Amino acid sequence: MSALTLADARTIIAAAEKKADEIGQPMNIAVVDAGGNLIAHVRQDGAWIGSIDISISKAWTAKAFDIETKDLGDNSQPTQQFFGIHTTNGGRVAIFAGGVPLTKDGVVVGGLGVSGGSGEQDQSVALAGQVVL
């Protein structure tokens, strides 16, 4: 299995930053490895400081469950199978848009988390950073 490298994280962050710049929304962008450990984080000029931890939690969640946080959120609403999941893992589980798993050679090797705008903006920036490695 290929590990996610710092060079990979920089490539991912650069792609995400480009999209954030295009939409005019400063973002916090975090990349974690297969163990959920932070590899790199960028807080663009003007991005909310409150979104630093959120971006890291989204990246961690995307890897911890190998699912987009948007999809996990859809499945964690009342009456859904994962209702209450956000209260697990010390409250670290993020259940709103902006977190995506990262794959390399067809294997999930990390997660990307983006926070700083609307859910739609966060998701679009995360998807832009989900480059093929």
pTM (global) more than 0.85: yes
Task: Give mean pLDDT, residues 53-71.
Answer: 97
**Residues 71-119 pLDDT 10s:** 999 889 999 888 989 988 888 999 999 999 999 888 999 999 999 999 9
Question: Residue 108 has which token pair?
Answer: 């999930």
Helix segments in 1-133, DSSP class H? 6-23, 51-64, 69-74, 119-129
Residues in the chain, total: 133
Residue 60: burial class (beta carbons within 10 Å; 0-12, 13-18, 19+) = buried
CB 41 within 8 A of CB 31: yes
Q: Identify the helix (H) or strand (E) that includes residue 42.
A: strand 38-43
pLDDT band at 7 (very low <50, low <70, confident <90, very high): very high
Which of 57, 65, 75, 40 has the alpha carbon at shortest distance from 113?
57
Q: Which of 40, 31, 39, 16 is nearest to 117 (CA)?
A: 16
Q: Return d(Cα 96, Cα 73) in angstroms, integer.
A: 5
Q: What is the pLDDT of residues 32-52, one digit of tens each?
A: 999 999 999 999 999 999 999
Predicted confidence at residue 2, as pLDDT, reads 78
Q: Residue 1 above 70 pLDDT?
A: no
